[in-house]
Amino acid sequence: MYQIEEPKYFVLLAVIPIIWLAYFYMRVWQSKKQKKHIDSQLFEQIVIEKSKFKPFIKLLLLSLSLLFLITGLTNPKIGTKLETIKRRGVDIVFAIDVSKSMDAEDVAPSRLEKAKRLVSKIIDQLVSDRIGIIAYAGEAYPLLPITTDYAAGKIFLQNMNTDLVSSQGTAIDDAIDLATTYFDDDDTNKILVILSDGEDHSQKAVDAAQRAAQQGVTIFSVGIGTNKGSVIPIKKNGSLYGYKKDKNGQTVITRLNDQILKKIAQTTGGKYIAGNNTKTVVDYISDALKKMDKKEFETTKFSEYKDQFQWFLVAGLFFLVLYIIVLERETQWLRKLNLFGELD
């Protein structure tokens, strides 16, 4: 396992392609100037010691030197020891509705973006709990397996959108059933947080919640949207193309169905929370998690990272020295070898 202590120095690598562009520009410019004032064959007879290939070799050596020196500045580190760490926490799975109705903007900036921000804020409050993420619409899909890698969780959140699941609908029951497969320890408190506008009017979701309750899962449901509702914008590359219509050509109005979300939470002994106020949701769930018994579990990670910059600096200096000692004129013994057929 490795770490990069100062990744900001990688920006200096941009100087390498600039040097190459400058080199080829100068070669083309010199060639044009040469042809303008003197015949190319006559020029080669006059400047017999000038090598055709050494300027390119020197450029390659300089580039390698800069590559290793700049990489050394970032101070790469390698983990040399795998350490087992004991943590105490609960398992939390976030099931996020990514159906098209979540594009509605009755909650700014949109229902889905609001849900993503809520999950991100909740994750910020966690210390040693494990998290998992599920996306669902007409079907449910696992995005992030149960893990303590909060950074990975936030990356998956950033990339989540309503095009993630091609099958449209709001299959909350599928999300609940899938979530129960995430929990691999019967002794751990199992929490499922559903973030949705609740547009699932079937009894299947409540039935799924009953099955989850039998396995010890507690569900917190967060309603995203308003009872007044809103139209569903159709956007491409950030531009508005219109609004979703039904088969009769009427503009669809999507509304929050908090009743189904309340039933799901109550079935498992959990709680329904209106998602309009971010602080209210985050505080409630964070407080609820703090009151729960924490299960001790083990995780492994690399420790004792050792600096490796010195190897890159040595390599960089080696190529720099070669760049300095290699001259642009031809070496006589190398010329006699005629490696490139120059004497033919």
Alpha-carbon 9 to chain mean position: 21
- Find, among 134, 128, 228, 227, the residue nearest to 181 by Cα: 134
Q: Which amino acid is at 50?
A: K
- Which pLDDT score is estimated for 338? 52
Measured between alpha carbons, how far is 177 from 122 in angstroms, rounded to an integer? 23
- In the structure encoding, which two tokens stand for residue 9, read together? 């120095």
The secondary structure of the chain, three-state, reads: CEEECCHHHHHHHHHHHHHHHHHHHHHHHHHHHHHHHCCHHHHHHHCCCECCCHHHHHHHHHHHHHHHHHHHHCCEEEEEEEEEEEEEECEEEEEEECCHHHHCCCCCCCHHHHHHHHHHHHHHHCCCCEEEEEEECCCEEEEEEEECCHHHHHHHHHCCCCCCCCCCCCCHHHHHHHHHCCCCCCCCCEEEEEEECCCCCCCHHHHHHHHHHHCCEEEEEEECCCCCCEECEEEECCEEEEECECCCCCECEECCCHHHHHHHHHHCCCEEEECCCHHHHHHHHHHHHHHCCCEEEEEEEEEEEEECHHHHHHHHHHHHHHHHHCCCECCHHHHHHCCCCCCC
Structural domains in the chain, CATH included, are 2-75+308-337 (no CATH), 87-299 (3.40.50.410)
Q: How far is CA 69 from CA 13, 20, 46, in A?
A: 10, 17, 39
- Which pLDDT score is estimated for 140? 92
Sign of CA dihedral 180, 182, 184, 187: negative
What pTM, to 2 d.p., does this model score?
0.62
* 272 φ/ψ angles, rounded to the nearest 5 degrees: -95, 135
- Tens place of pLDDT per residue across the chain (344 aa): 667 888 888 899 999 999 999 988 888 887 777 666 665 555 555 555 556 677 888 889 999 999 999 998 988 887 665 566 566 678 999 999 999 999 999 998 999 999 999 999 999 998 888 899 999 998 999 999 998 889 889 999 988 998 888 777 778 999 999 999 998 777 788 999 999 998 866 788 999 999 999 999 999 999 999 989 999 998 877 778 888 888 888 898 999 999 999 999 999 999 999 998 999 999 999 999 888 876 665 555 555 667 888 888 999 999 999 888 877 655 554 455 454 444 44
- Which pLDDT score is estimated for 256? 92
146 CB neighbour count, 10 Å cutoff = 18
- Which pLDDT score is estimated for 223? 95
* 42 φ/ψ angles, rounded to the nearest 5 degrees: -65, -35
Using DSSP bridges, classify how beta strands 217-223 and 190-196 pair: parallel, antiparallel or unpaired.
parallel
The C-alpha angle 247, 253, 257, rounded to 5 degrees, equals: 115
For residue 218, what are the β-bridge partners? 191
